[in-house]
Amino acid sequence: MMRWVSLAAAAALIGAVAVLPAHAEEASMPRQAWSFAGPFGTFDRAAAQRGFQVYNEVCSACHSMKLAYYRDLSGIGLSEEQITAVAAGKTVGDIGDDGAPIERPALPSDHFKSPFANELAARAVNNGAAPPDLSLIVKAREGGADYLYALLTGYSAAPTNMKMGDGMNYNKYFAGNQIGMPAPLSEGRVTYGDGTPASVNQMAKDVVTFLAYISEPETEMRKALGVKIVLFFLLMSCVTYAVKRKVWADVDH
């Protein structure tokens, strides 16, 4: 009897699944060619500078980078004067000589200014969901740079047979295909100083390059050190083998 009850329950479950609303399938994430990928990869400075412009003019309205400093921009090729000017365009809280709170222009030694005073304020204006901090976002998401690029370029109209939640947006690469963040990029959203056309794909690739640098600014130094260490061990292996041959040359094997 229990066997037939179990079979009936299983059949009912299968039937229930069969009549659930159709759900769009997540698309396979495309792979991109990144200048910083591989053991000898380096950051494309021009792309990273354009990416900083996209972050500064678009992403920074909602997303913080609490672990990054303005002085880190030297790593993407900005001069000390440019960094000082970028920082001075923001105001940060501080304590005056009299102990009272003040607002002052940011310095290169300051962290990037957050768009909200705290997480509660961020949630209050974003339908209860605080936008994630972007300091380590490339390392924090599975798929890294490829995933972020796919997410930024994966917005489209939802399939007609898919019911969208209130305030949600369709993204074919996001888990569940429904994301609260509206498409942040649109054609010509920024105007690049070097004349590069600001297509969605171009802006996405640029800002991901910048975020990859911010997530791990010591990447190039680490890779260069790794190459030197490998070469050192190869040299020492050759020297060790030569010494061994010399020491045991007169021994009858």
**Span 42-68, pLDDT tens digits:** 999 999 999 999 999 999 999 999 999
The predicted model gives 90-113 an average pLDDT of 92
Task: Using a pLDDT cut of 70, give the percent of the chain over it.
Answer: 89
Give the Cα separation of 31 and 10 in Å (integer): 40
Averaged pLDDT score across all residues of the chain: 88
**Confidence at residue 247, expressed as pLDDT on a 0 to 100 scale:** 86
The predicted model gives 91-103 an average pLDDT of 89
> Which segment of 145-154, 162-171, 201-210 scores lowest on mean pLDDT?
162-171
Q: What is the pLDDT of residues 160-201, one digit of tens each?
A: 999 999 889 999 999 999 999 999 999 999 999 999 999 999
Query: Does 1 score more than 70 pLDDT?
Result: no
Task: Using a pLDDT cut of 90, give the percent of the chain over it.
Answer: 72
Q: What is the pLDDT of residues 26-42, one digit of tens each?
A: 578 889 999 999 999 99
